[in-house]
């Protein structure tokens, strides 16, 4: 399925880095992430709420990423960029499977962004 009026949605992933001291592989920083255009994807609004206290005013924006490919390469530690805005993945991306037919619906992944 393609979206003729859709937006470009990009998956951002930190590169794996080998720690020279311990020999273990860790995730690098976000300065130069691996980018992957996600075909058949769009981001839709869920809600926005304000959190205020004596020291800070911030907005919590919640959206959902929808993927028509249930096997798209998106993981929990990735970020998503759409319409020039970068979101954190807020939950484990999964694709449910109907146990009788094997059918998989469009995959929904919750996203958040905090500003302020």
**Residues 46-84: tens digit of each pLDDT:** 766 666 665 667 788 889 999 988 889 999 999 999 989
| Strands 57-67 and 41-52, sheet pairing | antiparallel
Provide the CATH topology of domain 9-115: Thrombin, subunit H (2.40.10)
Average pLDDT along the chain: 85
Nearest CA-CA partner of 85 in 111, 51, 106: 111
Tell me the domain boundaries of the chain.
9-115
Residue 2 pLDDT more than 60?
no
105: enclosing H helix or E strand: none
């Amino acid at each position: 399925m393609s979206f003729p009026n859709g937006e470009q949605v990009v998956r951002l992933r930190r590169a794996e880095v080998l720690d020279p001291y311990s020999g273990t592989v860790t995730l690098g920083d976000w300065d130069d992430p691996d980018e992957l255009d996600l075909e058949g994807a769009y981001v839709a609004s869920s809600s926005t709420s304000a959190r205020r206290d004596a020291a800070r005013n911030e907005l919590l924006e919640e959206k959902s990423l929808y993927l028509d490919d249930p096997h798209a390469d998106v993981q929990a530690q990735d970020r998503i960029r759409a319409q020039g805005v970068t979101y954190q993945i807020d939950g484990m991306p999964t694709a449910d499977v109907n146990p009788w037919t094997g059918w998989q619906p469009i995959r929904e992944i919750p996203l958040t962004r905090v500003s302020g």
